[in-house]
């Protein structure tokens, strides 16, 4: 049932993608991203549950802690600092982005079938899940105007890359994995500060207002 459970988890992550596309309130969006982080963190344990060594366990724990706890906490703090609760009138509406996301997910499943994958990966949802997450991330980055929603989009995009990475869990050095995680955390930390600054400078987090900086 290992394969089945893993597919269930990837399916759950894909469902969370759609949830992220459909949620208008920032706390809900952050919760969704956090939940996806936890789901992703569990996966290495499932893939490697026969030869569980401390390194895989460390990756899992670090992922869960980083994506499920630390980053959401940073985001929530930034949200409170900027004093915003919800996204109002996104660039691409919720229903269109949901439909686009669903179409993308279906296309990803179809595309993954057409790709020449290793036989070991052909039945798995990892590749379509990864593509769907990357697509969702892009959709959020393009379609939302509040900086925090865009950060969430960036995180989902990164989650997609992480899912790709799981395919190569045997050959990727642990250092790369943890390096990425560290980068992301630092990135979110920095963005938290920037968000605060944008808020002070423009009285809003609408990234469209940044066009006034182009001169």
Partner 1 sequence: MMNPVSEMPLRLAVWLLLAPLLPGIVNKVKAWVAGRRGPPVLQLYFDLAKLWRKGVVVSTLASPGFLLGPAVAWVAVVGAALLMPLGPSLAGAGFRGDFLVLIYLLALARFCTAWAAMETGSAFEGMGAAREVSYAVLAEAAIIAAVLSLGVQTGSLSLSTMLAPAAGAGAALLAAGLFVVLLAENCRVPFDDPNTHLELTMIHEVMVLDHSGPPLAAILHGASVKLLLFSVLLVQAVLPIGQFAPWAGAGVLAAGVLGVTVGVGFVESLLARLAFRRVPLLLTTAFLLCLFALLVAWKGGPS
Under rule CB under 8 A, residue 178 binds partner 1: no
Of the candidate residues 45, 61, 107, 109, the single one contacting partner 1 (CB under 8 A)? 109
Nearer to partner 1, 12 or 65 (CB): 12
What the block records as the tokens of 148 is 């925090």
State which of residues 6, 13, 18, 151 lies at the interface with partner 1 (CB under 8 A).
Answer: 18
* Helix ranges restricted to H, the chain: 2-22, 26-47, 54-63, 71-82, 94-114, 119-122, 126-143, 147-167, 174-202
Residues paired with residue 206 on neighbouring β-strands, in sequence order: 146
Q: Is 69 in the site for partner 1 (CB under 8 A)?
A: no
Decide if residue 106 touches partner 1 (CB under 8 A): yes
Phi, psi (rounded to 5 degrees) for 169: -60, -25
Interface with partner 1, residue 22, by CB under 8 A: yes
Tell whether residue 92 is a contact of partner 1 (CB under 8 A). no
| Binding site residues, partner 1, CB under 8 A | 18, 22, 24, 94-95, 98-99, 102, 106, 109
């Amino acid at each position: 049932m290992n394969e089945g459970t893993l597919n269930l988890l990837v399916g759950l992550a894909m469902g969370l993608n759609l949830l992220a596309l459909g949620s208008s309130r920032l706390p809900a969006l952050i919760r969704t991203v956090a939940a996806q982080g936890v789901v992703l963190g569990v996966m290495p344990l499932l893939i490697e549950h026969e030869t569980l060594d401390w390194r895989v366990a460390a990756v899992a724990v670090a992922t869960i802690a980083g994506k499920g706890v630390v980053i959401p906490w940073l985001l929530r703090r930034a949200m409170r600092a900027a004093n915003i609760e919800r996204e109002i009138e996104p660039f691409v509406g919720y229903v269109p982005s949901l439909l686009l996301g669903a179409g993308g997910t279906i296309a990803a499943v179809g595309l993954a079938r057409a790709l020449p994958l290793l036989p070991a990966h052909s039945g798995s949802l990892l590749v379509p899940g990864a593509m769907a997450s990357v697509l969702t991330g892009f959709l959020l980055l393009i379609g939302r105007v509040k900086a925090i929603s865009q950060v969430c989009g960036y995180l989902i995009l990164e989650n997609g890359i992480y899912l790709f990475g799981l395919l190569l869990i045997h050959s990727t050095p642990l250092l790369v994995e943890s390096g990425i995680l560290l980068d992301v955390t630092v990135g979110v930390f920095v963005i938290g500060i920037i968000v605060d600054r944008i808020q002070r400078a423009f009285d809003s987090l609408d990234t469209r207002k940044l066009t006034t900086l182009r001169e």
